Amino acid sequence: MDEAVGLPDFCRRLPKVELHAHLSGSVSETTIQKLQVKKGVGHEGLQGDTAIGKGETRHLQEPFRIFKIIQDLSDTEESIFMMTEDVISEFAADGVRYLELRSTPRHMPHTGMTPQSYVESILSAIQKCKDREDVVVRLLLAIDRRQSVETAMTTVRLAQEYMLRSPGVVVGIDLSGNPAVGDGRDFIPVLKEAQNCGLKLALHIAEISQQAVAPETSALLSLPPDRVGHGTFIHHNQDLAAVVADRKMPFEICLTSNVKAQTVASYGEHHFQHWYSRKQPCVLCTDDKGVFCTTLSEEYRLAAETFGLTRPALWDLSYSSIDHTFVGEDLKQQLRDRWNTEKEKLF
Ligand code: 6MZ
């Protein structure tokens, strides 16, 4: 192993899988500036910062204020296309070789953007990046907990339609949004419908402490989801923890996001430690790399430094993440082959 390569550099060169990245939250400062120029808004028009910087923490409500600013700035098909392209290029530059983006289709009557044209803009950007960027990209459509069940059903229908139209690119459904709002149980029939038509489910579950005892948590876990987003408070409830452990449900782990949004007090207390030490499948992710000022390499470095993971352990973590992607066995095997080729250069 080439120990001369520093840890940050090793983490950057490590081929990585990103499975939990919200499009609007992943937009970088540079792209926000481009969106501002397009819309003719100055920084003073932004009503506050659009990112939570190094060493800063803010209440979980704060990222939701920021998402709204970014969403207001990106209200045309052109802006959605541009930000998707930028986000894909940035992940690729950070050594992400497989990326699952997720985004909530939006209707913007004042610009004419519809949920359909929103999804099409993202798909066009993915298509454009296909030959240019060294990363395989897939898309999950997101349901925001604030939305009506009817809107959520429209999203599932849209996902179903695009899954058939552009085979293989739209692969699943995400349930996200402010965890303090609404009741996840309302969406169970919609999520079941998604499962029935072959879409995979990545659901935000127990992101805040109240949800460790909320009836929605056991209801969502019993679907069951294919992956758990955050799951921060699941291990606070023995029964829920047993369900997750028995089914070996993979956790999407977002260290920086959870610490900066104050749902986890410090990196050392992150639930990654609990689950990783019990050999539960864990995938390191960024959540909202723009808003939380992070990169996937940085998340690997943090995991190594906080929990004492060796370079081979980081490698294994990245390699095993391929198992939890929402793609077929053929593509998984291609990714494993790719990873093994890269391994020879890294060690
Ligand atoms: C829950 C989150 C989130 O859909 O406009 N989102 N939902 N918890 C989080 N932890 C911080 N981070 C992002 O991206 C922004 C949307 O993603 C969800 C929220 O619904 C937010 O509005 P899109 O691309």
**Could you report the per-residue pLDDT of 185-204, keeping only the tens digit for each?**
999 999 999 999 999 999 99
Q: Which ligand 1 atom sits nearest the alpha carbon of residue 145?
A: 20
Would you state the pLDDT for residue 5? 84
Q: Which mutation among 67, 101, 174, 175 tests ligand 1's pocket best, with the greatest number of atoms within 8 A of CB? A: 67
SS3 29: helix
What's the one-letter identity of residue 20?
H
The H or E element spanning position 49 is none
Would you state the pLDDT for residue 194? 98
Would you state the pLDDT for residue 44? 61
* β-pair type (136-144, 170-176): parallel
pTM over 0.95: yes
Q: Which ligand 1 atom sits nearest the alpha carbon of residue 146?
A: 20
- Statement: residue 94 has pLDDT above 60: yes
Following CA atoms 178, 180, 181, 187 in sequence, which dihedral angle do they give, to the nearest 10 degrees?
80
Q: Residue 59 burial by CB count (10 A; 0-12/13-18/19+): exposed, middle or buried? A: exposed
Residue 315 CB-half CA count within 13 A: 16
* Ligand 1 centroid to residue 177 C-alpha, Å: 5
The H or E element spanning position 116 is helix 115-132
* Ligand 1 centroid to residue 6 C-alpha, Å: 33
Nearest Cα residue to 154 out of 164, 165, 141, 140: 141
Would you state the pLDDT for residue 45? 56
Would you state the pLDDT for residue 92? 98
- Residues 239-269: pLDDT tens digits? 999 999 999 999 999 999 999 999 999 999 9
Backbone angles phi, psi at 83, to 5 degrees: -70, -30
- Residues 139-187: pLDDT tens digits? 999 999 999 999 999 999 999 999 988 678 999 999 999 999 999 999 9
Rounded Cα distance, 64 and 62, in Å: 5
- Per the prediction, the chain carries an average pLDDT of 95
Would you state the pLDDT for residue 141? 98
Backbone angles phi, psi at 100, to 5 degrees: -110, 110
- Statement: residue 117 has pLDDT above 70: yes
Longest distance between any two alpha carbons in the chain, whole Å: 56
Give nearest CA residue, ligand 1 atom 3: 177
The H or E element spanning position 141 is strand 136-144
Average pLDDT over residues 317-346: 97
Would you state the pLDDT for residue 335? 98
Active site residues: 207
For residue 50, name the pLDDT band (cuts at 50, 70, 90): confident
Q: Are 64 and 102 in contact (CB under 8 A)?
A: no
Q: Which ligand 1 atom sits nearest the alpha carbon of residue 104?
A: 4
